Amino acid sequence: MSFKNSIWIYLLIALGGLLLFLPVQTVHLFDWDEINFAEAAREMILTGDYLTVRIDFQQFWEKPPFFIWLQALSFSLFGVGEVAARLPNLLCGIITMMVLYDIGKTLYNKNFGILWVFAYIGSILPQFYFMTGIIDPVYNLLIFLSLYFLFKYLREPKNSSIAIAGCFAGFAVITKGPVALFLLGLIFLFILLFLWRSIDRKALKKGTSIVIFLGPLLLISSLFYGAEFIKHGPGFFNEFLDYHLRLLQTSEAGHGQPFYYHFVVLLIGCLPTSLLLFGGLSGFSEDTEGQHTFRKLMIIMLLVVLLVFSIVTTKIIHYSSLCYFPISYLAACFMYHVAYKKVKFRRGLIALTLGSTMIVGVLIMMLPLLMRNVELLIPYIADPFAVANLDAEAGWSNMDMIPGCLFVLASLAYLWSYKKYGYQWAFIIMLSCTGLATNLMVKLIVPKIELITQGAAIEFYKSLRGKDCYVEVLDFKSYAHLFYSGKQQQANENSRSKDWLLEGNIDKPAYFVCKNIHAGKYRKHPQLKELYEKNGFVFFERLPG
């Protein structure tokens, strides 16, 4: 393939990414995981302190700042808002697609690279996260690139490869913390155990390799951790490590789930590639030793990440998102060998994939119908807050059935096209349909879910922006009131106490938000005036004096 054609493919990937990931409407950031990072970036700009991560103008121990720096830069350029908060992941999505194409082209050829891009972007959660403001897409790319250059070094020991691996590892550490080193170290250990015969022994005998890897890693990590140690002493590290240990040992923030949670999340959330990957597990005789080794590396990566986050007590849906790389790669391996190497395969796997995709499509098609007849659901919902959420006027229409129709169409299109155009086009057409379905689901359905679950509260917070007042939530955890009310640093330290805001001698109006299930005791409070109730949220005012 000529250089000119390569440039055109990269440009097409960039253009496709922009068309897919750019929002057609502004959707509020979701509480907690989107808003907390955006709020930290907003407070960085307000305080002018870019080395300390803060939430509510108090030090936030949970995450290091690299992704927050990216959001702060975006806010500085484009203003504080949802689009700017999600811009780093939009760009990360484009870069990720280019990386997948480039590595796929290097390992096999351009056809494999294209299939890998479609496998990733044609899956539900992998595409969805590029349109969010969470930390994981950037972190996952950094970990994956570190592993890729580590793989290159183990196959052909060059100092440049191990140094680049160390650089990406360093940025991963200042993106999400020591879990990056833990995962990289664990995966490397299993590489040594299971891929020993495929490793160039010179890579391990070079005494300088560990120094070349650790040098950039420590240098980049010290941008944050070194500065924090100098500024705050060992207290930061104690709090930081304590938080991450709690994630391992306890169900932090109510995110306890069964052991199999991430298996189910990946199976459904990565359709259709989560089923196609099984065709790529066993390997192919046509592959070179390097291709065999990389496939095994992807299997190791998948199993290590999946098992680690299945064992961890705190389970959140995006914790296993690093698995998207090996899942899409193994699916691409299967599709490539079926399409271009004409290998025999079990048609039952394709039938299961098509059937599962159609079932998901039908379920998505049913969602707008159910939401337009929500009274049918209410008798089966025990939570009064959830029932009240459903009172929100989200404006469900027949248009919202289109994503589900496209999932069904993906299966039908595959059946129609594989005999007429061959497997390569059948796979691409199927994944194009599922990718477009996912994209439209994010743009049509997700805004309505946001409106139902938090729209009333955020509307209230935004109405207080620029007003000299206190805003607080009662009996539930949230970051939305900080970001959407545009909270400024308060001169009166008493305002950090909810008891003072409720009972003390306040110096300006205070506004409170609680859920309807907790509203009874606050309605009895003599100094609180109920303003109104909407979609499960109850709003109160307390005036000074």
Compute φ and ψ for 283, nearest 5 degrees: 90, 170
What pLDDT digit, counting tens, does each position of 293-341 carry? 999 999 999 999 999 999 988 788 999 999 999 999 999 999 999 999 8
H helix intervals, 222-340:
225-232, 235-249, 261-269, 273-276, 289-311, 324-340
Type of residue found at 435? G
Of 99-113, 203-217, 228-242, 364-378, the least confident: 228-242
> Distance between terminal CA atoms of the chain?
77
How confident is the model at residue 62, as a pLDDT? 80
| Higher pLDDT among residues 249 and 191, named by residue | 191
How confident is the model at residue 247, as a pLDDT? 60
SS (H, E, C) 14-37: HHHHHHHHCCCCCCCCCCCCCHHH
Per the omega criterion (within 30 degrees of 0), is the bond before 272 cis? yes
Kindly write down the DSSP assignment for every residue of 442-474, as one continuous string.
HHHTHHHHHIIIIIHHHHHHHHTTT-SSEEEE-
How confident is the model at residue 213, as a pLDDT? 94
229 and 236 Cβ atoms separated by less than 8 Å: yes
- Secondary structure class of 130 (helix, strand, coil): helix
Mean pLDDT for 195-224 is 85
Q: What torsion do the CA atoms of 221, 227, 230, 231 make, to the nearest 10 degrees?
A: -140
Residue 250 has pLDDT above 70, yes or no: no
Burial 70-93 (b: 16+ CB within 10 A, else e): bbbbbbeeeebebebbbbbbbbbb
Mean pLDDT for 102-110 is 96
- Report d(CA 465, CA 483) in Å as an integer: 9
How confident is the model at residue 308, as a pLDDT? 93
- Report d(CA 180, CA 495) in Å as an integer: 37
- Among residues 14, 33, 10, the alpha carbon closest in space to that of 22 is found at 14
Residue 86 has pLDDT above 80, yes or no: yes
How confident is the model at residue 372, as a pLDDT? 92
What pLDDT digit, counting tens, does each position of 114-138 carry? 999 999 999 999 999 999 999 999 9
Type of residue found at 265? V
Provide the 8-state DSSP code for 59: E
How confident is the model at residue 258, as a pLDDT? 87
Rg (CA), the chain: 25
pLDDT averaged over every residue in the chain: 91
531 and 456 Cβ atoms separated by less than 8 Å: no
166 and 213 Cβ atoms separated by less than 8 Å: yes
Provide the 8-state DSSP code for 260: T
Residue 270 has pLDDT above 50, yes or no: yes
What pLDDT digit, counting tens, does each position of 486-496 carry? 999 988 889 99
- Report d(CA 468, CA 427) in Å as an integer: 57
- Report d(CA 470, CA 468) in Å as an integer: 7
